[in-house]
Amino acid sequence: MVSKNTRPTVADVRAMKGRGHKISMLYVTSLEEAAAADAAGVDMLSIEGRFFSPEMREAAGRCFVQVGLPYGPAGNLVTAEDYLKTAYHFMRIGGDCFYSAASLDIQKTLCDNAVPVVAHVGLIPSQCTWTGGFKAVGRTAESARAVWDHVKRLETIGCFGAELEVVPDRIAELITRSTPMIMLGMGAGPHADAQYLFSEDVLGHTSGHKPRHAKTYRNFAAEYERLQRERIAAYREFISDVKIGTYPEPQHVVSIADEELAAFKAPLGL
């Protein structure tokens, strides 16, 4: 068992898989979301490197944090050395494992240096041009075998886990049962080791396409719209107060004693 005062380790997460613990996982982008996830008891967080900081690590509390190492086109990491230096940087801040969709040799370099690597199989957004765009992968025997073989290659180089995205649920079940890696399911059915959603989908303020596997638990979009209307109304009231002179009021200004004001004005002839 994990102490209530410490966050899980790689070994703890592997033990969760071993005992069939269903892992909850959220992608978050703000300190508020990270702190809320910790308070709620979410097991794992996914945080892109551009959002990860000491403050974010502190906000995440006991959550096991996966930090995203931006794949080439989405960042400036190119060589294995680039990825390793960046992973070490985020390890110093407190990252627990590291997402990488880079080539197998780069992933192996990270693994060889004891960096807990989470790879990506199935629908890989940064590489989906090779599988036909943003659609399910593994719906034919041939495609499913390609996903299976990819998982086995990742096992061989020592990856800690892999995001398993938009593959048929029965394929995901067979893969999850047949690998020691932690399979982080996103649209992969109920049998993956983790169920992984984006916070914006959970909170109902997704911009753009909402994936089929997303589930909304609150309507933050309506609340954000309400807050924006209130923001505009408050700004308009401020403008009106400035124009008619009702702001600032006496309580908003700094006073000066009459004798001090007189002493200031006298030598100036005012």
Contact between 57 and 94 (Cβ < 8 Å): yes
36-69: buried (b, 16+ CB within 10 Å) or exposed (e) per residue? Answer: bbbeeebbbbbbbbebbeeebbebbbbbbbbbbb
Residues labelled catalytic: 165
CA distance 151 to 187: 17
173-194: buried (b, 16+ CB within 10 Å) or exposed (e) per residue? Answer: bebbeebebbbbbbbbbebbbb
CA distance 51 to 69: 11
